[in-house]
Amino acid sequence: MDHSGSKYSSNPSQGANPSQNPSPNPPTPPSAPSPPNPPNPPNSPSNPPPAGPGNTPPTPTTSTNPGATAPPTPSTTNSNNGGTSASAPATTSPSSVSSSSSTTVAPTPTPTAPAVTYVVQDSWKGDDFFGSRFYSDPTNGFVNYQNKDDAMSKGLAYTANGTTVLKVDDFTQLSSGQNRDSVRIGTTKTYNEGLFILDIDAMPTGCAVWPAYWMVGPNWPNSGEIDIIEGVNSQPNNQYTLHTSGSSKCKLDTSNAAFKYNRATSNQTDFTNSNAFTGNPMGTTCASAPDANSGCGVSDPDTASFGAGLNAVGAVFATLWTPAGIRMWRFSHAAGVPADITAGQPDPTTWGPPVAGFSNPADGSCDYTTEFKDQTIVINTSLCGDWAGPAYAGSGCPGTCQDRIADPNNFSDAAWKIRSLIVYNAAASATSTPTGGSGHKGHKGHGGQR
């Protein structure tokens, strides 16, 4: 996901001093809609930079009114004008059987309870996000990540009409080579499975921009990394990627094409007959090493999944992580979000095949709660860095990435606009761990560095 410099910092000045190295090489799809792979980072998992979201500090005191003055309400994004969802919820209608004498309408079947009931474990909306960990560490990207007080006082982190805004500085003129202020937040708790649902109206987009919503464990890559939203520059399609330890046997099974999906036997905890996904396979080897960090990935075929295309319609990203696998869905606001998600009673068995599906093979060689452990959730926006920088020219962007950083007008669309982030767990299951202090239920922090 975040690769090398932009995701992780090399010299943290606030909070803990995590020790994991991000994955520098995103998987490259066969037909090249995505930018080229970035170079390997100077640090390796055996000699990682002293930063990353895995080791977390005591939970900070949450304040819903830190005293900063919110900037003028930013322009809102219309989330209901066109677009398609990656996988729309299934609908059914009564069937009719005709005979020579009459027509009999079959009764509507009685709804059955979902195989698993999910309950809210943690939830962030509005100012809840400001109980997260903010970082002020330098990275290989041309960014200065701001601490909480500075981010809020500079108008880079605020709420507007209930929406949380995390943005890049779009008002300060710089000289070429200077770093631009940005924000990276991460949870104060770690997770070991669950259903993670992010609802956004907009995400950062544009040349030189490298946004990501991801999860990562300590001691990268040994505890894994789950990239849910990630891309660079003006990339039109989202990439979903996993990274595992160098000894991992986890692979993306490209035979799980959508036509193999069997709705009748689908079950969110049984991937045997429902491994299908609708996205385009990229890399298939999840294991990551200093010289091979692309991971296993899937490219979303819909241009409403990332950047400007997503911002035109908004989207919900749902990630289900169980021992059997990791599945990722995307639903655009315009095409319709499943009613069970809107009602706070999610039932993945009704959503159809996901855009990306990573499953444990029949021999059980990839247990997803062993390969992925103690994951911190991170949201950040880097600039240039070890992926967006090398991919800059090939993305059709003008001039150089470094020169583009100087003009604030280039970053008017470099903002996350978040409605909510909710973590669900199967009933009677508790799988998150406060990493110092007491994580507030219903309030999740974000920290990390990219």
Residue 31 burial (10 A CB sphere; 0-12, 13-18, 19+): exposed
* pLDDT recorded at residue 75: 37
258 vs 102, higher pLDDT: 258
* pLDDT recorded at residue 29: 43
What kind and span of H or E run contains 216? Answer: strand 209-216
* pLDDT recorded at residue 292: 80
- Which of 62-72 are b and which e, b meaning 16 or more Cβ less than 10 Å from the residue's Cβ? beeebebeeee
* pLDDT recorded at residue 407: 98
Provide mean pLDDT across the span 166-188.
96
What kind and span of H or E run contains 148? Answer: helix 148-153
DSSP 150-210: HHHHTTSEEEETTEEEEE---S----TTPPEEE-EEE-SEEESSEEEEEEEEE---STTEE
pLDDT classification of 337: cutoffs 50, 70, 90: very high
139 vs 345, higher pLDDT: 345
Residues marked as catalytic: 225, 230
For residue 316, give the nearest of 279, 354, 349, 282 by alpha carbon. 354
- Which of 407-443 are b and which e, b meaning 16 or more Cβ less than 10 Å from the residue's Cβ? ebebbebbbbbbbbbbbbbbeeeeebeebeeebbeeb
The whole model's pTM is what?
0.73
Provide mean pLDDT across the span 233-240.
97
**CB proximity list for 447: less than 8 A, separation 6 or greater:** 15, 53, 56, 57, 132, 133, 134, 135, 184, 185, 186, 187, 188, 376, 378
pLDDT classification of 363: cutoffs 50, 70, 90: confident
**What is the rounded CA–CA span in Å between residue 186 and residue 376?**
7
Q: In this model, does residue 311 exceed pLDDT 90?
A: yes
pLDDT classification of 66: cutoffs 50, 70, 90: very low
**What is the rounded CA–CA span in Å between residue 215 and residue 179?**
25
Highest mean pLDDT range out of 4-8, 247-251, 436-440?
247-251
* pLDDT recorded at residue 442: 28
Residue type, 413: D
pLDDT classification of 419: cutoffs 50, 70, 90: very high
* pLDDT recorded at residue 172: 98
Tokens found for residue 323: 């021992």
CATH of domain 4-71+113-434: 2.60.120.200
Q: In this model, does residue 182 exceed pLDDT 90?
A: yes
Q: Is the dihedral of CA 162, 316, 359, 274 positive or negative?
A: positive
Q: Long-range pairs for 41-46 at CB < 8 Å and ≥24 separation?
A: 41/3, 41/4, 41/5, 41/140, 41/290, 41/293, 41/386, 42/4, 43/4, 43/10, 44/290, 45/20, 45/21, 45/219, 45/220, 45/221, 45/222, 45/246, 45/288, 45/289, 45/290, 46/290
**What is the rounded CA–CA span in Å between residue 166 and residue 169?**
10
Q: In this model, does residue 270 exceed pLDDT 60?
A: no
Provide mean pLDDT across the span 398-407.
97
* pLDDT recorded at residue 383: 97
Range of weakest confidence among 49-53, 214-218, 271-275, 380-384: 49-53
Residues 4-32 pLDDT 10s:
443 443 333 333 333 333 444 544 444 44
pLDDT classification of 416: cutoffs 50, 70, 90: very high
Tokens found for residue 73: 């309400």
238 vs 67, higher pLDDT: 238
Please count the CA atoms within 13 angstroms of the CA of 110 that sit on its side-chain side.
2
Peptide bond into 24 cis (omega under 30): no
The percent of residues above 70 in pLDDT, for the chain, comes to 65
* pLDDT recorded at residue 282: 93
**CB proximity list for 364: less than 8 A, separation 6 or greater:** none
Contact 190, 56 (CB under 8 A): yes
Residues 91-113 pLDDT 10s:
333 333 333 333 333 444 444 45
